[in-house]
Amino acid sequence: MAGPPPILVLVNPQDIVNIASAVRIAKNFGIERMRLVQPEVFDPYRIEGIAHNTADLVARIEIVDTLEAAIADCVFTAVLTARERAAKRTMLRPRPAAAALVAEGAAGPVAIVAGREDSGLTNAELDLCNLLVTISTDPRHRSLNLAQAVAIMAYEVWNARGGDELPAKPPRNRADPATSDQLEELFEDWRSALWAIDFFKTRRPDSVMRAFREVIFRAALDGREASLVRAMEIEVVRYLERQSRKDP
């Protein structure tokens, strides 16, 4: 990952569900520090009940009195806002803003700042931050839920730090590719099964089996999958044999 994660600062959050949602998002995207400026409610037990398995992050949450105190040690801050301002300010979308946060993070702590659910941040609070970040939305309904806005920004920062480059979790039980012998056994057994159910009564066997081969080849089965598909055919034939024995 490129550089340390930003600090997430929430100014005067009013809803504990939004705080808990932001905590969950922070854990999802590698944010390790949160600061709350005068939260209207703060109950670690309830937050952990909403955002499970986040006790370590909740224990590190810092409560401060002002935004100035929350970002005092930061060298760069990006604030989320839907407000259009007449004053000339640097305003970016989340993706370039995330790149800026990562670049500035090489010099010291950086922060993502988000405001109140009902009114956002004041002009004076916006003036404290280096960069304004606006998320593109329908102009007829600009305002996003606090946690939604935080999620979008946190995701972009995660990717800017290289999160998308992390390898995906491998399959729990990896198997080698199916061998030619396994596939030929599968094809022969399925040919027998299709004869057994009269599938070829009105169809050309060679054409059907050629198309079936192409389907299986495109599927690129591993050894376990080839065994499973073959076992299905074997059970079809066994079922037919059992039924024939029951018939008078």
Task: Give the model confidence (pLDDT) of 170-206 as tens digits.
Answer: 767 778 999 999 999 999 999 988 998 889 988 899 9
139-148, 174-183, 198-207, 222-231: which has the minimum mean pLDDT?
A: 139-148
pLDDT band at 151 (very low <50, low <70, confident <90, very high): very high
| pLDDT for 111 | 98
Q: With a cut of 80, say whether residue 27 has pLDDT above it.
A: yes
Q: How many CB atoms lie within 10 A of CB 44?
A: 13
Max CA pair span of the chain: 92
Which H helix or E strand runs over 44? Answer: helix 44-50
Task: Give the model confidence (pLDDT) of 47-106 as tens digits.
Answer: 999 999 999 999 999 999 999 999 999 999 999 998 766 567 788 999 999 999 999 999
| pLDDT for 93 | 94
Q: With a cut of 80, say whether residue 169 has pLDDT above it.
A: no
| pLDDT for 40 | 93
- The whole-model pTM stands at 0.73
pLDDT band at 247 (very low <50, low <70, confident <90, very high): low
What amino acid is encoded at 211 in this protein? Answer: A
pLDDT band at 119 (very low <50, low <70, confident <90, very high): confident
| 12 Rama sector, left if φ>0, alpha if ψ -120 to 50, beta otherwise | left
Nearest-5° angle of CA 25, CA 31, CA 33? 115
| pLDDT for 11 | 97
Report the Cα–Cα distance between both ends of the chain, in Å, rounded: 71
- pLDDT (mean) for 20-37: 97
Q: How many CB atoms lie within 10 A of CB 31?
A: 22
Altogether, the residues listed in the chain come to a count of 248
